[in-house]
Amino acid sequence: MTKRTFISTDLPQMIELYNQGKSTVDIGKIYGVHYSTVKYHLNKAGVRIRTTSEAMYYKHGTTIEGRDERYRMLRSIKQCPFYVEWRAKVMVRDKFTCQLCGYQNTRDKPTKEIHIDHIKRFSIIIKENKISSLADAIKCDELWDINNGRCLCVDCHRKTGTYGGKYNQ
């Protein structure tokens, strides 16, 4: 994209996009100008610039506080005894063996990490069941169904696309 300078006739459209929820970064990309230029001109035109928290809300439908709250909620689920038990049951059933490649840790060869993978993503279960607290989670049978868990070695887990993002999956 060739960098353009700000053209004042673009401003009314920029203001409209901003009011629709587009960020200064998005608008900058559309018009080929730096976001700080967009911000400067919006501000000059009397548009109130959103705070970081408000911007977050527009972008992700949640505030920073809301995100932190959600993070704490998910962590409390992953640390509760039901979760620990769910993992243990999956591990015992699969005999600590990767369900994709058959890798098994033995006492002589405990070299590779074995992970417990959610076949249906944890985050989707949380979303579909509208879980917003640990109490909701405890009541959710789907979350504790060991048929939705499997042992995977770290290498196979990496290939599944659900690897990483422990709490924000």
Query: Which positions touch Zn ion (CB under 5 A)?
Result: 98, 100-101, 103, 153, 156
Cβ proximity to Zn ion: between 103 and 122 the closer is 103
Cβ proximity to Zn ion: between 32 and 110 the closer is 110
Cβ proximity to Zn ion: between 77 and 156 the closer is 156
For residue 148, give the nearest of 116, 115, 119, 114 by alpha carbon: 119
Cβ proximity to Zn ion: between 18 and 103 the closer is 103
Shortest spacing between CB 161 and Zn ion, in angstroms: 15
143 phi/psi in degrees, rounded to 5: -65, -30
- Calculate the alpha carbon distances from 38 to 15, 41, 54, 163 in Å: 9, 5, 17, 37
- Calculate the alpha carbon distances from 69 to 20, 41, 50, 121 in Å: 26, 35, 21, 20
Shortest spacing between CB 156 and Zn ion, in angstroms: 3
Shortest spacing between CB 114 and Zn ion, in angstroms: 9
Shortest spacing between CB 117 and Zn ion, in angstroms: 10
The residue type of 22 is: K
